[in-house]
Chains A and B, each alone.
Chain A
């Protein structure tokens, strides 16, 4: 918990790799996990004489991302060279955007501590990713490092927020909100383990009530919520301690070590970089016309926050459920369609949050990869409503659907799971049970209402669970009371 003497000021620079088929400037495939340097070519290796050509879809993704974050899209935008030396940077410069980015002046709303908070987005721009440096601990030789350029030239979106965040937890909530948006609009799989979604965080402290910003430190390139949260919390305390002692915070770039729980300065960042930006002569500038912007805007799906609101208002489900159901866009789509087809949003929600999610979790897959579709689930809901099967039987049916992909009606038929709702058939069984269990029957007549439960259970057992429970209940009572 931050010292109440100081106000914490945090800004995030989020990097998300686009899930395009090919890289930003060459035709190598964008794929995670291949053997080192098997997804490279002279262009993404920065060989002599090569030239970049812009991936159209990456540009469109960037504009859509800007729109989804409520930004203004630049009508004229260009690329620039950011010059520095590092082994994972093949050309000795990164093609990025400096003064005329594709999008700017937007905002992202997110829920935090039961309130809607807004972070202003300073700018959103497109750039190429660098390769990956692999160190001694992986290969064994402490004096060597190794470079894999598979990731070089993958399209990267950089989202720079204003320093509006006031706590490490809020920063994480904002980061999660951005992840959700990017996943929803299908531009990035935001796979943090694979490194396709990372952030740099800037944090500074200032006395409460002060207008001026304090000196900030930067935490580099992390791809784990837990890691960044811990790092920011540590930094918050560290800076507070320094200020308490009357010292000054040094403006440095830091690395947080999860093991020691402390930050330390990054050696390679000790010298301030002079990036010597200048306009990229190998790429023509981009003029995006308003019609194209609107066309791209129309391709955006309903965004998560809006969707949650609509679920609550249109379907009348609780906010908590809406939150759960919109965890992924695919889940939200599944719910939307099931609710529509079945006509019963509440039942749809219950089934998804309950049995369906449990099945997905044990299989370790998302709804998009499951055999269950909205059509399957809505059919199941209708079968229950129509009395064909009981809720209990339905649980085994849904598991079957999950396994086989067969429709519920087919499964019920094949396995003879249909509820027995034929009064005379049930009556026959009821009579048998009353005759076989005269003791409990008498108990009930004597006023022990609980005995009914036992008798209902016996009828269900005799019918292998298929008797319509309400009907069983009714018939038993009629016969016993009467």
Chain B
């Protein structure tokens, strides 16, 4: 089996046993990229020089027989929304087309400490705004399972790379489902940790009260290893929780006896794809037969989540993106008559349509006379959505739902109508608004061979319960071993 097809935990054993070197492994991944990247288009920047330096350093440790962390020497792809020192960080936008970050995000420092190998920066919807990665200013990433379809978004590049074995695992970011939804569409594992679990320092902000960095991997074990590496309090982030990080690998128990699963009726809507529903219900039955109890619950404010999200996120984004003004870094338009002209030309030329649309929406929602009706109202409904979950978690341990109402749709299918695109987030935005942790794991394929994802949510800081349920399901199936034909 080629090295690039393995998981991080499998590779760690081989590296430890000195059967392989990290340099070999890294080369294997780059060879794979060479073979399939033209079709997938998952990367914006490849960082070979740095990668091989890191691989060599890891090899020195392995050779010496040092105690090496689980991700040492493992090739990992990084979503281009995360600042990497000395490396281009574009956020999928022209406005940062030349931005070489002078500093590393905290998660990058943590990965460096593990000795991980950075393969490259991956493609994404511009500034993480989108559900298909079609909003990138650079390229369209294709779903490895069907190249005519989208990989999902906004972490499309990071997800496609893992699905196509162009990276062993990757980092993405999730604001309203941007890790979970593409993970489901591409048949890999994607986790959004509890808001505050992972430092946001160095994560280019889209919506500050919603953004979280999370791991994308081929199986749940690798997900746990990645979480161990990236979670933790950070004094550089005032919103990072000051809580101890458990060893998430201890949750990798294939047993759900006594676990109470809640199935929210509002998540099985009429517009849902029949195959998706069938696959998810089948998965739930499997968990029941593995010993979990299953009950129907209600999350009554679910239908208001999209509306709530699409006020709060654009409002915060309109402020977060105000810094892109051509003054200190990034793109600056030429031939501006004066300062205001420079601002307007820079931002209008530098930002894509979806970004502009959301900035407009957000600015409007915050503007004089509209704040109460929109932003304040949305904040209040957010409280209601959160309290739905608080009540549910008094009765159940985890909530299980489909990750996406449909499998991957065709490239170009929803670009004409922004609202249609927004509605694809319907199953992910409620938990984002509540700050909850959530995972998507593969639970089947449609007749036409497109992946279907199972979403597992838990109360804040209860990732361990999620991992246990996910691991159990995984161990009873082999969806995580299926790979697309490329």
Contact = CB atoms under 8 A, between A and B. Distances in A.
A52 B102 CA distance: 17
Interface stretch (A158-166, A275-283, A311-319): A275-283
A90 B99 CA distance: 16
Contacts of A93: 319, 322
Interface stretch (B12-20, B140-148, B198-206, B411-419): B198-206
B238 A278 contact: no
A145 B323 CA distance: 18
A47 B209 contact: no
Nearest to B375: A278
B7 to A, nearest CB: 29
B101 A48 contact: yes
B162 interface: no
A90 B323 contact: yes
A159 B367 CA distance: 26
B322 A92 contact: yes
B325 interface: yes
A96 to B, nearest CB: 13
B83 A85 contact: no
A276 B363 contact: yes
A85 B209 contact: no
B243 interface: no
Contacts of A145: 339
Contacts of B189: none
Given A83-B322, A274-B368, A281-B208, A147 B238 contact: no
B294 interface: no
A203 interface: no
A282 B91 contact: no
A195 interface: no
A46 interface: yes
Contacts of A277: 366, 371
B105 A83 contact: no
A274 B366 CA distance: 9
Q: Which of A49, A52, A149 has the most CB of B within 10 A?
A: A49
A53 interface: yes
B343 interface: yes
Nearest to B343: A85
A85 B235 contact: no
Contacts of B371: 276-278
B482 interface: no
A47 B96 CA distance: 11
Contact of A49 (B83, B343, B363, B366): B83
Q: Which of B205, B209, B322 has the most CB of A within 10 A?
A: B322
Contacts of A307: none
A276 B103 contact: no
B91 A48 contact: yes
Contacts of B83: 47-49
Interface of B is mostly: loop
Given A52-B238, A281-B209, A42 B204 contact: no
B308 to A, nearest CB: 15
Nearest to A41: B103
B322 A85 contact: yes
Contacts of A54: 238
Interface in A271-314: 274, 276-278, 281-284
A282 B201 CA distance: 10
Nearest to B329: A47
B238 A51 contact: yes
A213 to B, nearest CB: 22
Nearest to B83: A49
A265 interface: no
B173 to A, nearest CB: 11
Interface residues of B, number: 42
Interface in A68-104: 81, 83, 85, 87, 90-93
B35 interface: no
B239 interface: yes
A87 B239 CA distance: 28
Contacts of A90: 323, 327-328
B208 A83 contact: no
B79 to A, nearest CB: 12
Nearest to A45: B328
A42 B363 CA distance: 25
Nearest to A275: B368
B237 interface: yes
A310 B368 CA distance: 51
A282 B208 contact: yes
B433 interface: no
A266 interface: no
A409 B83 CA distance: 67
A84 to B, nearest CB: 9
B135 to A, nearest CB: 17
A277 B367 CA distance: 9
B455 to A, nearest CB: 25
Contacts of B201: 49-51
Contacts of B209: 281
Contacts of A282: 205, 208, 238-239
Given A81-B319, A278-B375, 4 more contacts: A42-B103, A48-B83, A51-B238, A276-B366
Interface of A: 42, 45-54, 81, 83, 85, 87, 90-93, 145, 147, 149, 274, 276-278, 281-284
9 contacts: A47-B103, A48-B96, A48-B204, A49-B83, A51-B239, A54-B238, A276-B318, A282-B205, A282-B208
- 8 closest Cβ contacts across the A-B interface? A92-B322, A281-B208, A276-B366, A281-B209, A48-B204, A49-B83, A49-B202, A49-B204
